[in-house]
Amino acid sequence: MAKKYQICKRCVMDTSDPQITFNAEGNCNHCTDYLSMRDNQQSAEKGLQTELDAIISEIKENGKGKEYDCVIGLSGGVDSSYLAYLAVKEYGLRPLAVHLDNGWNSKLAVKNINNTIISLDIDLHTHVIDWNEFKELQLAYLRASVIDIEVPTDHAIRAALYNAAEENDIQYLLRGYNRNTESIIPKAWTFLKIDKKNLLDIHRKHGNGTLKTYPTIDSTRISVLEKGGLKTFAPLNYVGFDQEKVEEIIQAELKWKSYGGKHHESVFTRFYQGYILPKKFGIDKRRAHLSTEICNGLLPRDTALEVLKDSPYDEEQLKLDYDYVVKKFDLTSQEFDALMALPIRSHFDYATELKSKIRKKLLDPRNPVYRFFKQRRNLK
């Protein structure tokens, strides 16, 4: 029998997030916090523009005499493509684009990246990870049975960006983070992306081989780089972000084509969000994105509820992706299904860079995150 979740009366977030809370009206903390943030941003809009102009001027001044004045990540997705467009066309910056090739790029992603580079006439540095190394790291996360199997990709992207900035004497790193579309993401659905100790412990206990080409970073090194002058900046937080209008711009200016879903430029990300998360962890990430659209008045709640009645995956595409992922991992379908059936574990079952005080709190049986994983284990 399917588990019944309590759902927010304003958005579509529910108790698949074990840390969610509801007020007397039945509205959850996610949409309440997001609306408060959005209102504060709108009231400070004039100040944000002034701040943005000042930062852009600072980047240009600091970059005089250098080949590049900033570093940007480029995945071929909406946010990174639009960031590249803004950096060059709107702000007049000279970015070095960095792309992480982890072996999971869709053909469309490669085409979108190439079109962006050509359209904007910018240089691209691609960090290619040895596939066997990365495969073993991802398999280690599947064997560890932790929730955030995207850490290996996100960690490496962050490391590649910082490395490129340091190697090219660039002091500004422009991130594609966009709170207008990514603020409603429960902490219980992800893990700290730069926790190198956690990543290496999971690989040591469940992986094979070494990580010679895999870029790593931790909070200590980031702190050292930032003390040395490196600054990170998220321009998309300073501009109005209408997904539909943004896609129209990059389609016209960069010959960009849609993937049909957020972060679907990666085959594995599409499979992780559309199959692994719902099937193993009971999480439909569409709830977060749809809730943001509801809060921004772009989608009626009733429409979002109807969308959620449909499978997050087209059945034909799911079969193609399932077969592709299993084959690429050199597994049989029986072996992959066995990994999916493993009892869920917490990232905190492994070594972590987080302070022991925080770790103990999260492992406290009175904590809802602990209770969530404990319950999932018992269900197995």
Lowest mean pLDDT among 106-110, 263-267, 315-319, 370-374: 370-374
* Interval 311-332 mean pLDDT: 95
Is position 12 within any domain? no
* Interval 150-179 mean pLDDT: 94
Same-domain check for residues 246 and 274: no
| pTM (whole model) above 0.85 | yes
Q: What is the pLDDT of residue 5?
A: 84
Torsion of CA 222, 227, 228, 232, to 10 degrees: 60
Same-domain check for residues 236 and 310: no
Same-domain check for residues 151 and 114: yes
Is position 238 within any domain? yes
* Interval 281-292 mean pLDDT: 94
- What stretch of H or E contains 82? helix 78-85
Lowest mean pLDDT among 50-59, 153-162, 282-291, 360-369: 360-369
Same-domain check for residues 275 and 250: no
Q: Quick one: pLDDT band at residue 296, thresholds 50, 70, 90?
A: confident
Is position 9 within any domain? no
Is position 33 within any domain? no
Q: Quick one: pLDDT band at residue 376, thresholds 50, 70, 90?
A: very low
Q: Quick one: pLDDT band at residue 261, thresholds 50, 70, 90?
A: low
Say yes or no to pLDDT of 353 above 80: yes
Q: What is the pLDDT of residue 367?
A: 58
* Nearest partner of 138 among 199, 197, 192, judged by Cα: 199
Same-domain check for residues 243 and 271: no
Encoding tokens for residue 44?
């400070």
Q: What is the CA 165 to chain-centroid distance, rounded?
A: 21
Say yes or no to pLDDT of 18 above 60: yes
Same-domain check for residues 134 and 233: yes
Q: What is the pLDDT of residue 241?
A: 75
d(CA 257, CA 329): 28
Q: What is the pLDDT of residue 275?
A: 96
Same-domain check for residues 160 and 302: no
Is position 261 within any domain? no
Lowest mean pLDDT among 70-74, 100-104, 265-269, 333-337: 265-269
Query: What percentage of the chain carries pLDDT values higher than 90?
Result: 75
Among 232, 254, 276, the domain-final residue is: 254
Q: Quick one: pLDDT band at residue 46, thresholds 50, 70, 90?
A: low
Is position 320 within any domain? yes
* Interval 278-301 mean pLDDT: 92
Residues 224, 207: contact at Cβ < 8 Å?
no
Q: What is the pLDDT of residue 87?
A: 97
Instruction: Name the domain count of the chain.
Output: 2
| Strand partners for 98 | 73, 125
Is position 27 within any domain? no
Q: Residue 95's domain is classified under what CATH number? A: 3.40.50.620
Same-domain check for residues 168 and 105: yes
Among 254, 286, 301, the domain-final residue is: 254
Its domain, for residue 232, covers 45-254
Same-domain check for residues 229 and 285: no
Q: What is the pLDDT of residue 377?
A: 40
Residues 269, 279: contact at Cβ < 8 Å?
no
Q: Is 18 exposed, middle or buried (0-12, 13-18, 19+ CB in 10 A)?
A: middle
Among 200, 224, 254, the domain-final residue is: 254
Edge to edge, the sheet with strand 172-174 lists: 123-128, 95-101, 70-73, 172-174, 231-233
Same-domain check for residues 208 and 344: no
CA dihedral over 182, 185, 189, 192, signed as positive or negative: positive
* Interval 27-39 mean pLDDT: 90
Is position 80 within any domain? yes
Same-domain check for residues 137 and 236: yes
Same-domain check for residues 63 and 128: yes
SS3 assignment, position 244: helix
